[in-house]
């Protein structure tokens, strides 16, 4: 496994991370109950996944308490940024513009979302967004 792939979560791991981001630090049983409420899975499957995730550095385990409590090693926002950078590099040749254009043409946006996008673009224009030589 390449070093850059070590921390890239699978779909199942993202599901567990989502539970932990929403609930906060939790035991395996707490995570299992949430996951099992939406799909058929076993306790030992969730336990094994969480052990693997700890080894990959995706989760941090508190071994000072019983039962052990797990928490994400990174915030949701940090993980989203990491996954987005990976997607940008692999699929969009590092071009945020191409990603945004594809995303906006692929699905309808609300009026509020379009206003937020315009405000962001205006702010980036004011700040120069690093597109001018230093």
Residues of the chain with CATH 1.10.10.10: 3-72
Please tell me whether residue 29 adopts helix, strand or coil conformation.
helix
Q: What pLDDT sits at residue 29?
A: 97
Statement: the pTM of the whole predicted model exceeds 0.85: no
Q: How far apart are CA 57 and CA 122, in angstroms?
A: 38
Q: Considering only the top CATH level, what class is 3-72?
A: mainly alpha
Confidence of residue 132 (pLDDT cuts 50, 70, 90): low
* Residues pairing with 60 in the sheet: 71
Per-residue pLDDT tens over the stretch 73-108: 999 999 999 999 999 999 999 998 899 889 888 989
CB 37 within 8 A of CB 22: no
Q: Quick one: how many helices (H) and strands (E) in the chain?
A: 6, 2
């Amino acid at each position: 496994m390449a070093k850059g792939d070590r921390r890239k979560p699978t779909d199942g791991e993202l599901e567990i991370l989502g539970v932990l981001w929403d609930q906060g630090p939790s035991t395996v049983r707490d995570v299992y109950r949430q996951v099992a409420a939406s799909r058929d899975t076993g306790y030992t499957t969730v336990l094994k996944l969480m052990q693997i995730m700890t080894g990959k550095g995706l989760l941090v385990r508190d071994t000072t308490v019983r039962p052990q409590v797990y928490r994400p090693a990174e915030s949701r926002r940090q993980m989203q940024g990491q996954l987005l950078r990976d997607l940008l590099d692999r699929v969009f040749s590092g071009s945020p513009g191409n990603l945004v254009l594809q995303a906006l043409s692929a699905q309808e946006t609300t009026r509020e979302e379009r206003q937020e996008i315009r405000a962001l673009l205006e702010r980036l224009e004011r700040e120069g967004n690093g597109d001018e030589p230093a």
